[in-house]
């Protein structure tokens, strides 16, 4: 949503969605910890009173934002993998889809990192952890399927491969945020995933050979 634009005749659900999108927009430009309800209202050209007619407090807004992120991200990566049968190719499509989502919404990782780094266990932080768990479960299942069909070695540590997949994306995102260049992240993705893919596809445990 563009700052200074007042959305008119919106339903309650539409107004809540517009608020979430406004926070994601602001998070791309501002430290999420410094985003106030006054700033959100100003960005939407609303009064704080109008904002609080749809959310009881700031924490409720943050919960809605994290939920929006989780739903949109999972939808995007599943859509990217639609119709692909090879587990490894599905993982590549998920990797690319995840990065595309972050590049299109740079406020998303800033919000997510901000919540996960917080000392307090908030409802929004619990949602963020639940999202990461769901994501990891999906990946782990793909890796196990890859073992079953022979695309991945049976000796591959599925949990470690899952952690590395997520960590690789997080590393790309963090570097792009620091550099302020999301386009570079998209450009780097094919080469980075190729290295990850070679690593897990050729991983071997030579227990009896040592």
pLDDT at 146: 96
Q: Tens digits of per-residue pLDDT, 62-109?
A: 999 999 999 999 999 999 999 999 999 999 999 999 999 999 998 998
- Position 3 confidence tier, pLDDT thresholds 50, 70, 90: very low
Q: Rounded to whole angstroms, how far apart are CA atoms 76 and 28?
A: 20
pLDDT of residue 204: 45
Distances (CA, A) of 150 to 4, 86, 139, 145, 200: 56, 10, 16, 9, 12
DSSP string, the chain: --TT----S--HHHHHHHHHHHHHHHHTTS-GGG--HHHHHHHHT--HHHHHTT-SSHHHHHHHHHHHHHHHHHHHHHHHTTT---HHHHHHHHHHHHHHHHHH-THHHHHHHHHHH-SS--HHHHHHHHHHHHHHHHHHHHHHHHHHTTSS-TT--HHHHHHHHHHHHHHHHHHHHHHT-HHHHHHHHHHHHHHHHHHHHS----GGG-
For 112-169, the pLDDT digits (tens) are: 888 777 778 888 888 888 999 999 999 999 999 999 999 999 999 999 999 999 999 9
**Structural domains of the chain ordered from first start:** 62-204 (1.10.357.10)
Please say whether the beta carbons of 74 and 134 come within 8 A.
yes
What local confidence, expressed as pLDDT, does residue 192 receive?
A: 95
The CA distance from 146 to 131, in Å, is 23
pLDDT at position 9 is 65
Stretch 5-29: mean pLDDT, rounded? 82
Express each pLDDT in 154-174 by its tens digit.
999 999 999 999 999 999 998
Q: Which two tokens stand for residue 52?
A: 């609080």
């Amino acid at each position: 949503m563009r700052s200074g634009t007042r959305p008119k005749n919106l339903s309650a659900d539409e107004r809540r969605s517009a608020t979430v999108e406004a926070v994601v927009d602001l998070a791309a430009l501002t430290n999420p910890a410094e985003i106030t309800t006054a700033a959100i209202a100003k960005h939407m050209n609303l009064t704080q009173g109008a904002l609080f007619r749809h959310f009881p407090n700031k924490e409720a807004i943050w919960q809605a934002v994290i939920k929006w992120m989780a739903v949109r991200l999972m939808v995007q990566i599943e859509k990217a993998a639609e119709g692909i049968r090879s587990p490894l190719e599905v993982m590549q499509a998920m990797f690319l889809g995840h990065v595309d989502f972050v590049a299109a919404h740079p406020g998303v990782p800033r919000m997510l990192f901000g919540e996960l780094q917080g000392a307090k266990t908030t409802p929004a932080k619990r949602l963020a952890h639940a999202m990461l768990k769901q994501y990891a479960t999906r990946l782990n299942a793909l890796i196990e399927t890859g073992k079953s069909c022979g695309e991945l070695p049976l000796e591959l540590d599925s949990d470690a491969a899952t952690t590395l997949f997520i960590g690789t994306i997080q590393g790309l995102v963090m570097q792009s945020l620091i550099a302020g260049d999301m386009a570079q992240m998209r450009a780097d993705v094919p080469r980075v995933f190729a290295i990850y893919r070679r690593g897990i596809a050729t991983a071997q445990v030579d227990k009896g050979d040592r």
